[in-house]
Structures are given as C-alpha cells and as structure tokens.
Amino acid sequence: MYIIAIGWLWVALLMAITESSVTAGLITLFLWGLLPCGLMLWFSGTRVRRERQAYRELLASQRTNENNRGDTQTDQ
C-alpha cells in the first residue's frame, strides 16, 4: 500500500511543479497530494491501531490478575 502512496505523492509533486505560481503549486501539493494520501493512510491504519489498543488492554488486565493471585493460596 505504501507504493501506491509514494506513486500518488510523486504525481501530485509533478503536478505542483507545473503550476504557474508557487502558491498554486503548494495548494495543489497539499490538496491533491498530502491531504488525500494522509487520510488514506490514516483510515487504512485504523483497524491496526484498534487491535493494538485491545492487545495493550489485555496485557494490562493480565498483569493486574497476576498481582491478585497471592490471595488464592492457602496460608500455612
């Protein structure tokens, strides 16, 4: 997927270079290149971020449960 983003940014950069002014080039680069590419990468990474957060919560709950196991053993 990163190859698509790189290609998209390359085309947007070439489009920005051919603009008549620097301002128009920067606007073209931002609106046609960086903004859509950033949104695409952010939306495509949402599932991974959600799974990573769930995994962190699972590890945190396991650590909490390990600390509470001392009370389950019988006293001697």
pTM as predicted? 0.63
In a domain, 1, yes or no: yes
The predicted pLDDT at position 68 comes to 65
In a domain, 51, yes or no: no
- Using the predicted structure, report yes or no on whether residue 64 has a pLDDT greater than 70: yes
The pair phi, psi for residue 34, each rounded to 5°, is -70, -45
Q: What is the mean pLDDT of residues 67-73?
A: 61
Question: How far from the centroid of its chain's Cα atoms is residue 54's Cα?
Answer: 16
In a domain, 67, yes or no: no
Spell out a b/e string for 37-58, using b for 16 or more CB atoms within 10 Å of the CB, else e: beeeeeeeeeeeeeeeeeeeee
- The model's pLDDT over 1-33, given as tens digits with 9 standing for 90+, comes to 789 999 999 999 999 999 999 999 999 999 999
In a domain, 50, yes or no: no
Q: Quick check: helix, strand or coil at residue 36?
A: helix
The predicted pLDDT at position 50 comes to 92
In a domain, 36, yes or no: yes
In a domain, 37, yes or no: yes
Domain containing 23: what range?
Answer: 1-45
In a domain, 61, yes or no: no
In a domain, 35, yes or no: yes
The predicted pLDDT at position 69 comes to 60
Q: What is the mean pLDDT of residues 58-75?
A: 72
For the chain, the domain total comes to 1
